[in-house]
Amino acid sequence: MKFDNYMILEFPSRSTNEAFARSAVACFAAQMDPTLEELGDIRTAVSEAVTNCIVHAYPNEIGNITLRCRILKDNVLDIVIKDKGVGITDVEQARRPSFTTGGAERSGMGFTIMESFMTNFEVSSASGKGTTVHMRRKLQRRK
Ligand SMILES: Nc1ncnc2c1ncn2[C@@H]1O[C@H](COP(=O)(O)OP(=O)(O)OP(=O)(O)O)[C@@H](O)[C@H]1O
Ligand SMILES: [Mg+2]
């Protein structure tokens, strides 16, 4: 597929990298001249996906997270966030609002938030192998 620009990041699943990842994506997306609302939605979706890698994918260890952003034609930002952690046995169940394996401090709304804030949203996962979240957001043209 033809694309205009991209960036790839790789970082360990340390909690400090959640803020780093969402800021890095926001900086990259700035060249698309997003509205503040669009930028806020993208930051939130990235934050939810990276937090899931930190909290769920690698519950007892520090593992790798990779993040790729591309700018596609028609002002679309494409984001892939991937881990090689524990994986999800039932993705459909995991995507349901309020489903969580995280106990009382989690609300089970991360996937629901990502899905509602982004234009396209897909999760693929294999138990013991890891999880990939692929999302896209089409931005308004302001020029
Ligand atoms: N990267 C991942 N690796 C392994 N399991 C995951 C991953 N992402 C999500 N999950 C599983 O899917 C469930 C739902 O994720 P979701 O983000 O919707 O809710 P949550 O993380 O449990 O709670 P919240 O995001 O509201 O704090 C998680 O509880 C976890 O079991
Ligand atoms: Mg979550």
Give the residue from 137, 111, 107, 143 showing the smallest Cα distance to 38: 137
DSSP 8-state code for residue 67: E
CA 109 to centroid of ligand 2, rounded, Å = 6
Q: 17-73: per-residue pLDDT in tens?
A: 999 999 999 999 999 999 999 999 999 999 999 999 999 999 999 999 999 999 999
Q: Is the pLDDT of residue 4 over 90?
A: no
Q: Is the pLDDT of residue 1 over 70?
A: no
Over range 73-99, report the average pLDDT: 97
Global pTM reads 0.97
Reduced to 3 states (helix: H, G, I; strand: E, B; else coil), residue 94 is helix
What pLDDT sits at residue 131?
98
Over range 73-100, report the average pLDDT: 97
What pLDDT sits at residue 85?
98
Name the residue with the closest Cα to ligand 1, atom 29.
Answer: 100
What pLDDT sits at residue 141?
79
Q: Is the pLDDT of residue 86 over 80?
A: yes
Tell me what percent of the residues of the chain surpass a pLDDT of 90.
94
CA 96 to centroid of ligand 1, rounded, Å = 10
CA 133 to centroid of ligand 1, rounded, Å = 11
38 contacts: CB under 8 Å, gap ≥ 6: 29, 137, 139, 140
Task: Give residue ranges with CB within 6 A of ligand 1.
Answer: 48, 52-53, 56-57, 83, 85-88, 94, 99-102, 106-111, 131
Give me the domains of the chain, ranges plus CATH numbers: 3-138 (3.30.565.10)
Q: What is the helix (H) or strand (E) element at residue 132, kind and residue range?
A: strand 130-138
Give the DSSP per-residue string, 10-46.
EEE--THHHHHHHHHHHHHHGGG---HHHHHHHHHHH
